[in-house]
Structure 1
Amino acid sequence: MDIRLIKTKDDYQQALKRLEEIFDAPIGTVESDEADVLGLLIDEYEKKYHPIEAPDPIEAIKIRMEEMQLKQRDLVDEIGGKNRVSEILNRKRKLTLEMVRNLATRLNLSAAILIKDYQILK
């Protein structure tokens, strides 16, 4: 087992190739342990060099609505009126602090995601 830190794209490609080779190794074997360590090293490299950005607030709301099978009308109490919900989801109006608090609770989303700035469409 020759495991090294992943510092370059070449190291990363080699690690991915090796992980693919040993991915299905039986648990408790040297190869299985190597796959676990390689997985951690690859994950750290990807976090550093290929971070996945969190969605903007409106996308986060829409994703959570889909996950929870909610319709726009289901957010009237949190946002304040059917028209207001439509304006928010269509990026015609910004979220207020009260809306952020209500949506964070209702949708179980981090307020940190909801307070990020996003573009308003005219």
Structure 2
Amino acid sequence: MKDIRPIRSDADHEWALAEVARYFDKEPKRGTPEGDRFEVLLGLIEAYEAKHWPISAPDPVEAIKAQMAQTGRTQADLAVLIGSRPRASEILRRQRALTMQMIRKLSTDWHIPAEVLIQPYRLATDNRKRA
């Protein structure tokens, strides 16, 4: 393929971005030489960006809070979904872990990816000394 090379530096990355940018107005047809070039460049860019600027998924509680903010949902809506107002509060305060049933409901009804919700996350701990 015409002048395709590995992306090893930020300068190479900028070059590759400029190369694919010209295809954005009119994406080349798959299976054509230009279409193949476009796909290879996108793959190289994606691999370079994943290595140099990885984006980690939010933790489950932050994902729930973000979804609530984006959709205008409230803690009361979460309580209705999971069946308990105190549990909703405990989850948002990190005092209770999500159960598989809660994860299923959040994934199905609120469209939060299950793979985000099943990640391990920090729960609040009781730092008071025991007598």
Deviation at 1:69, TM superposition (A): 1.4
Which of structures 1 and 2 has the larger relative contact order (alpha carbons within 8 angstroms, sep 6+)? 1
* Structure 1 vs Structure 2 CA RMSD: 2.8
| TM-score scaled by length of structure 2 | 0.69
Matched, 1:3 2:4: yes
| TM-score scaled by length of structure 1 | 0.74
1:74-113 to 2 correspondences below 5 Å: 74-113=77-116
Q: Deviations over 1:15-74 (max 9, x none)?
A: 31563588468758xxxx6x9464442222112343211111111111111222111111
Q: How many residues align?
A: 116
Identity of aligned residues (%): 40
Residue of structure 1 in register with 2:128 after alignment: none
1:51-70 to 2 correspondences below 5 Å: 51-70=54-73
Deviates more, 1:90-99 or 1:40-49: 40-49
Distance in 2 (CA, whole Å) between partners of 1:46 and 1:96 is 34
Structure with the largest fraction of helix: 1
Q: Which runs of 5+ in 1 are unaligned?
A: none
Q: Which runs of 5+ in 2 are unaligned?
A: 28-33, 126-131
Residue of structure 1 in register with 2:31 after alignment: none
- Conserved 8 A contact 1:56-1:113: yes
